[in-house]
Amino acid sequence: MRLLLLLFFLSLFYSCETKDVEYAIVIHGGAGTILKKNMSDEMESAYIQKMEEAINAGYNILEKNGSSIDAVEATIKILENSELFNAGKGSVISNAGIVEMDASIMRGDNLNAGAISGVTTIKNPISAARLVMEKSEHVFLSGKGAESFAKYENLEIVENEYFITQRRLNSLGNAKKRDSLTDNKFGTVGCVALDSDGNITSGTSTGGMTNKKWNRIGDVPIIGAGTYANNKTCGISSTGWGEYFIRNVVAYDISSQMEYNNTSIQSASKNTLKKVKDLGGNGGVVGLDSKGNITMDFNYSNKSLELQDKMKKFFEDYIFPNEDLYLSLIHI
């Protein structure tokens, strides 16, 4: 059995287009590098099943002429409630030993948006982001203030221990040994939906980076970086190395190319992700344009590609040729 590296970018897309109705939904379950030894057939099946459950929940809402806002929230909540993803329960753990979560949502008809960051007790951060958008005069709340707002709006509040899993504790231990942020820095979940009224909504939720320090905040809660929606152009949800997505204003940059240069969503996403790659970052996006065309794109940085080539050569030169010898030894 070969130990293969899986480069992980789970995404699913459903759509329906008839003479009278057009709607679509696309989701992602994060991106990153997972060792095959850590991804059993059962775990792989569990990821796929949970993503299918999530996208079906959103699709069923759209199919009944529901709003894209409801579809996005319902979809992301299912992923947040599963410990498989780096959002809500199962989020990665900070250097301080706690889970700190970010989320955002944006609607494309009026460009209204809501975001939260650094929350530790809100069971479903995406719901809090939506309430910031709909129940407050603000766009972005953080930390204790965001949690107080969530309590005021009667969202479910839990102890931080609810979010912590043994798998994430193990990842934190490994990252601390290396004094690194590179372990499980991906895994953000997101969703973009287009409803039968032509309205686009985008939402994204994350636990951020394993071993992050000093209340680090990535791109997810920053409107225009991790999340953006505009009925004139598209909706985008991002996943990857947040610092580079902030610097490139990734989600908005894709929309701007479409609005000002009449670029397709597929070409615009490739152009923007190339900018991320050229700066040394990597990550991906999912998105829908106003006609239901999709993009599901992921770029690796030059450094990542170099490491992949080195790893591939090492396995081809030293591991694969000695598989039979290794198997014979372990069965002695």
Question: Which active-site residues does the annotation give?
Answer: 188
3-state secondary structure of 123: coil
What is the distance between the alpha carbons of residues 264 and 256, in angstroms, rounded to a whole number? 11
Q: Report whether 39 contacts 307 (CB < 8 A).
A: no
Q: Find all residues with CB under 8 Å of 4, minimum gap 6, and list them.
A: 36
**Two tokens, residue 194:** 């287009």
DSSP-assigned letters across all residues of 138-186? -SEEEHHHHHHHHHHTT--B--GGGG--HHHHHHHHHHHHHT-S-TT--
Q: Report whether 216 contacts 117 (CB < 8 A).
A: no
Which residue type occupies 69? Answer: I
Question: Could you tell me where the DSSP H helices lie in the chain?
Answer: 41-63, 68-80, 125-135, 143-152, 166-178, 242-248, 250-261, 265-279, 302-314, 323-330
- Calculate the alpha carbon distances from 81 to 36, 53, 55, 236 in Å: 24, 12, 14, 22
DSSP-assigned letters across all residues of 68-112? HHHHHHHHHHHHHTSTTSSSSTT----TTSS--EEEEEEETTT--
What is the distance between the alpha carbons of residues 106 and 175, in angstroms, rounded to a whole number? 33
What is the distance between the alpha carbons of residues 31 and 245, in angstroms, rounded to a whole number? 14
